Amino acid sequence: MTSFAEIITIGDEILYGQTLDTNSHWLSSALDEAGIQVTRKTSIADKREEILEMVREAETRADIILLTGGLGPTNDDLTKPTLVEYFDTKLVHHPEVLTHIQNIFVKAGREMSELNMKQADLPENCTPIHNAFGTAPGMWFEKNGKVIISMPGVPFEMKKMMTDEIIPKLVKQFANGVIYHKIIRTVGVPESKLAQEINGWENNLPKDIRLAYLPTMGMVKLRLTAKGADSNLIEKKVSEEVEKVMPLIEKYVFGFDEDELEVVLGKLLLEKGKKLALAESCTGGYLSHMVTSVPGSSQWFNGSFIPYSNQLKNEQLDVSNETLKAHGAVSEPVVLAMAENVRKKLHADVAVAVSGIAGPGGGSEEKPVGTVWIGYADETKSTAKVFHFTKDRTINIKYSAIAALNMIRVNLNKD
């Protein structure tokens, strides 16, 4: 039997659009991995009546209800008193929780306030959940076989609590049927082109396997989903379909499931014993950030230059002033020179360079906003390609970085 969960995030700031709700995203993924199906996610205001109504509603639909937010020490945090009312109970003091809160303040060398002390008072019918990274404990309630869990809204506190305490307890308590997902990750091909190329295969998919196209920035994920009682059986069925579709799309596929392009690339470079260097103009550090967000990237990444001005392109990367003048900074010869020279200067085997017009300013008739040149260089060759993205600065930066990573991938796979 599959167990169903609802996620409720509490906070006016989410409804007013002042805070991006990343918690419910992370929670969905963590529950999905644990075999618990999230059926609904709701964000509501930090108001007594809203919280009461929402929990009551969710209880009629789901087995597990997870609440985040509204547990801070300040007076605008209403979740705890409202749950006391909902369960018709009272607060009791937990000395072990107080000791933990005190330790946090001692370690941080900060003084504890009255408000923080009250965080050790919890509803009588709940089991406290340890908050390793913060002062607001989580609360685990049970009622008619259903579980209601309240957690702080601070992302890293909530995540630690889920991973160490809540998920193991949920998995134990709810014996689940299985949902199985397989994700095929592609880059450098638009959704509709991909759909056309796999159309014949898609039409012949077994009825109990669902296919979804998930386009993100410059990439499309294909997700196959199957449900059943026997996990081996459904896994096998999905694997057979993956084997059938792969020959049709092999050149676009860089990984599966949670594989990130930059992580895959790192592994590829490490395998080949090659080091990477980058020169970024319009991406302004975003490409380097993607690369260095990979733990252990220092094993295959030497470093970057971000010569934002033409003067620095000339001084630091030996792009001649004549070339800059004749072709402009956003041009094939400039990104080729940048890639070749950053490769040598930073003692790398492989390098890419990006120069473009991210916008909103700087566009012209000939080179409108969204025009981006990307150069690639390794020991034996160098090559460059022009892209035409959008009018949006943020999107152009991200598309350019993905295209640059893909250019490295394609060229490394050629060797």
Q: Rule CB under 8 A: which of 167-226 touch its own copies?
A: 181, 183, 190-193, 195-196, 202, 210-216, 221, 223, 225
* Cis peptide preceding 360, ω within 30 of 0: yes
CA distance 271 to 94: 53
Residue 106 touching its own copies (CB under 8 A): no
| Count of CB atoms situated within 10 Å of the CB of 121 | 15
Q: Is the dihedral of CA 287, 292, 297, 303 positive or negative?
A: positive
Output the DSSP codes for 12-63: HHHHTTSS---HHHHHHHHHHHTT-EEEEEEEE-S-HHHHHHHHHHHHHH-S
Nearest approach in angstroms of CB 217 to its own copies is 9
Residue 285 touching its own copies (CB under 8 A): yes
Rounding to the nearest 10 degrees, give the CA dihedral for residues 362, 364, 368, 374. Answer: -70
Residue 291 touching its own copies (CB under 8 A): yes
Applying CB under 8 A, which of residues 36, 71, 154, 234 lies at the interface with its own copies? 154
Which 367-396 residues touch its own copies, going by CB under 8 A? 390, 392-395
Query: What values do phi and psi take at 307, rounded to 5?
Result: -85, 90
Which 348-367 residues touch its own copies, going by CB under 8 A? 359-361
Cβ–Cβ under 8 Å, residues 110 and 102: no
Which one, 87 or 308, has the nearer CB to its own copies? 308
- Candidate ranges 31-39, 122-130, 166-174, 377-385; the one touching its own copies (CB under 8 A): 31-39
- Closest among 346, 211, 198 to 279, alpha carbons compared: 346
Applying CB under 8 A, which of residues 3, 10, 31, 253 lies at the interface with its own copies? 31
- Closest among 244, 150, 168, 169 to 205, alpha carbons compared: 244
CA distance 117 to 135: 9
Residue 41 touching its own copies (CB under 8 A): yes
Burial class (CB within 10 angstroms; exposed 0-12, middle 13-18, buried 19+) of 185: buried
DSSP secondary structure code for residue 347 in this structure:
T
Nearest approach in angstroms of CB 165 to its own copies is 17
Total residues interacting with its own copies, rule: CB under 8 A: 103
Applying CB under 8 A, which of residues 232, 239, 293, 413 lies at the interface with its own copies? 293
Site string for its own copies, 250-269 (x = CB under 8 A): --------------------
Nearest approach in angstroms of CB 212 to its own copies is 5
The H-or-E segment that residue 149 falls in is strand 146-151
Which one, 207 or 414, has the nearer CB to its own copies? 207
Residue 232 touching its own copies (CB under 8 A): no
Nearest approach in angstroms of CB 13 to its own copies is 5
Which one, 7 or 412, has the nearer CB to its own copies? 7
Q: Are strands 219-228 and 64-68 parallel, antiparallel or unpaired?
A: unpaired
Cβ–Cβ under 8 Å, residues 324 and 334: yes
Nearest approach in angstroms of CB 144 to its own copies is 23
Which one, 225 or 382, has the nearer CB to its own copies? 225
Which 54-83 residues touch its own copies, going by CB under 8 A? 72-76
Nearest approach in angstroms of CB 127 to its own copies is 26
Residue 18 touching its own copies (CB under 8 A): yes
Applying CB under 8 A, which of residues 3, 10, 27, 123 lies at the interface with its own copies? 27
| Count of CB atoms situated within 10 Å of the CB of 127 | 14
Applying CB under 8 A, which of residues 287, 330, 336, 405 lies at the interface with its own copies? 287
Residue 292 touching its own copies (CB under 8 A): yes
Residues 6+ apart with CB under 8 A from 407: 352, 374, 376, 385
- Candidate ranges 13-21, 229-237, 242-250, 406-414; the one touching its own copies (CB under 8 A): 13-21
Applying CB under 8 A, which of residues 227, 237, 289, 327 lies at the interface with its own copies? 289
| Cα three-residue angle 201-205-211, rounded to 5 degrees | 90
- Candidate ranges 82-90, 235-243, 341-349, 377-385; the one touching its own copies (CB under 8 A): 341-349
DSSP secondary structure code for residue 118 in this structure:
G
Nearest approach in angstroms of CB 309 to its own copies is 6
